[in-house]
Structure 1
């Protein structure tokens, strides 16, 4: 695995050395951290993050009870079988970190140094935090890192959670609003509109510094219009069971280029119907 997928871990150490295996563990840890940052930024819920469903390559395995969130709820549980919420959306980064410790235990006969194994995992939190903030900055159209970025993002997440604002629609509307500077349709998504107005003031100051056109261009390439929502998958499955595959093929087309507008298919990017909230998915889905 090291030779084929992690050659950078070989470095100056001899093949099979303890240092090489510790470097390997750190590289897997940091790939996993960046993967989880992308999950959190796009609103992806894995649903069943057992250690056997985590890839050594920092990829996603086991597409059973997965979901792209509709209304933003940090504690959302997409797996109907997860009665205790172990794999809730906001717990995904910590579960991945716990899984990496299990990997470290499995590698101990090779590393043979508990302190070296612990040190190999120390960078996970910082790598995740930096990657997540960079992704959120891009979602906001901000190219230049600034000291107050983390606070700006956190304030927004609190507002989104309080109003259970649709995650994908919010970001796409914001992407379109930035250019002309008209945030009325974004504001309408919030219950606490005064809170959104207060958040918007410093954000608009940053946009003025960045340039609205440049910010909007980055956002439209970062915030997808289309994601595989549960109700869209349910409809495509129902049609396919009847031998009709048009809906499945349409979803494949839309999701192959999720940042494009695809005029005429706004319904596939709209709010989920009421019945979608009653869809349940589990490990047997």
Structure 2
């Protein structure tokens, strides 16, 4: 399997804890095909043993037998403070299929559960399943979700809830925290083994470079810079960007108190446990940069194998300074595409920032505004554009539309061609919190049809899907502020 480091200082054998009377809550056939799970006519696994495997009740189904389930150790910074040793507290790595790791989240206690029960609840499992698949459909790098298996077993969180296991898939779940752990112990051997594993499996181009470990850091940092730019472009807030939740492959992982923006607030905080707003929407790029600094610190001993301490620090510092440049370049390019601009213009950044400030001031719906913007024509008159009615300061937005139309007129593409391109990058459907909440409440009453319906809608976020038009609407007033926390 990709995570082939072994030893009790790295991982612990972790057989899943059986889940009584399991049943299917949700299933993703597209993910099943990635790992060669044969499907029946109902879209579920042909071999019924998969239900028990994904519940944690047995370790073989079809041609697959998982001999060595493990949980791994890592450390990290949580809300900016060093938390020391952490680890897979409720995640168990079953094994590898087609170079993809299959992991169960919520399958019982592990060696790293500390005071936790190792379980996940139905509510959080539905949110992770839907968001993982929604992000994939949006074209954003992410872990995938194979299934949710539920049970009537009780689990206490703020209240009594029922247990569920979410099975998730990724090329690797290695994270910044793995590097931090071995660096904190000054275990250079393990640190080097971890870096070598990543280079061999995922960053082979680094092997031939003069400084393989410096280039590994550079590539990880670049991937995460581009990732957070993509988050910003769809209004996604991760909610808990602790260093142990940041992927070494530049994937979105560990879905907890996430949220997509409805009404645009540049300083929106989606996690009600984040009292200081550390992980607010507008701070996500800065925090990702900070996390890359944590990674740089952890990888410093690797550079010191070939360089002096001072030179190693300078090399990493210089590379770390590339992060904001990569982020801004990616952010500008994505938002140009959202505006339908194919060429680069000197005033584009100002045009984008002016719009976002106006949207923030008037709390305009982020997703619907950009989706509707494709209807603006090169010969439109600002005062006749219906979107202006979403803004309180009409004079200000009229000026923006005038500048935007003027910019469109410098482009060579037709209105029709531009609309086609814009509708491929501006989604109509996102996982709004109120939609997830409705699906959760129905599932808690043993009705899983809304989870499946929402799953299907979100897998085609750029299509019109006229039968589901109401799923694109902003939340009703009484559902504007659905609280999510780290237990979510």
Do both share a fold (TM > 0.5)? yes
2 CA distance for matches of 1:64 and 1:180?
45
Which position in structure 1 is the counterpart of 2:276?
84
TM-score, scaled relative to structure 2: 0.56
Larger radius of gyration: 2
Q: What is the aligned residue count?
A: 280
Shift of 1:107: 0.8
Q: Which residue of 2 aligns with 1:238?
A: 441
Q: Which residue number in structure 2 is paired with residue 269 of structure 1?
A: 472
Where does structure 2 lack aligned partners over 5 or more consecutive residues?
1-197, 305-311
Q: Which runs of 4+ in 1 moved over 6 A?
A: none
Matched, 1:215 2:397: no
Q: For each residue in 1:118-177, what CA deviation from the matched residue of structure 2 results, as whole angstroms up to 9, or x when unmatched?
A: 122121011000000000000000001111111111111111111111101111111233
Q: CA RMSD in A?
A: 1.4
* Alpha-carbon distance in 2 for matches of 1:119, 1:257: 41
Conserved 8 A contact 2:209-2:215: no
TM-score in terms of structure 1 length: 0.95
Aligned counterparts of 1:27 and 1:12: Cα–Cα separation in 2:
12
Q: Which residue of 1 aligns with 2:299?
A: 107
> Which digits, 9 at most, give the CA deviation of each residue in 1:252-274, with x for residues without a partner?
11110100000121110012111
Where relative contact order (Cα < 8 A, 6+ residues apart) is larger, the structure is: 1
Q: 1:202 aligns with which of 379, 403, 427?
A: 403
Q: Does 1:46 align with 2:244?
A: no
Match for 2:429 among 226, 229, 232? 226
**Structure 2 partner of 1:7:** 204
1:279 paired to 2:482: yes
Q: CA deviation at 1:244?
A: 1.0
The question of whether the paired residues in 2 share the 8 Å contact of 1:168 and 1:224 is answered with: yes
Aligned to 2:121: none
Q: What aligned pairs does 1:81-230 form with structure 2 within 5 A after superposition?
A: 81-112=273-304, 113-178=312-377, 181=380, 184-210=385-411, 211-230=414-433
Q: Which whole-Å CA distance do the structure 2 matches of 1:230 and 1:267 have between them?
A: 14
Q: Tell me, in whole angstroms, the C-alpha distance in 1 between the residues paired with 2:443 and 2:325.
A: 44
More helix by share: 1
8 Å contact 1:207–1:215 — kept in the other structure?
A: no
Work out whether residues 226 and 268 of structure 1, in 8 Å CA contact, stay in contact via their aligned partners in 2. Answer: yes
Higher mean alpha-carbon deviation, 92-101 vs 108-117, is at 108-117
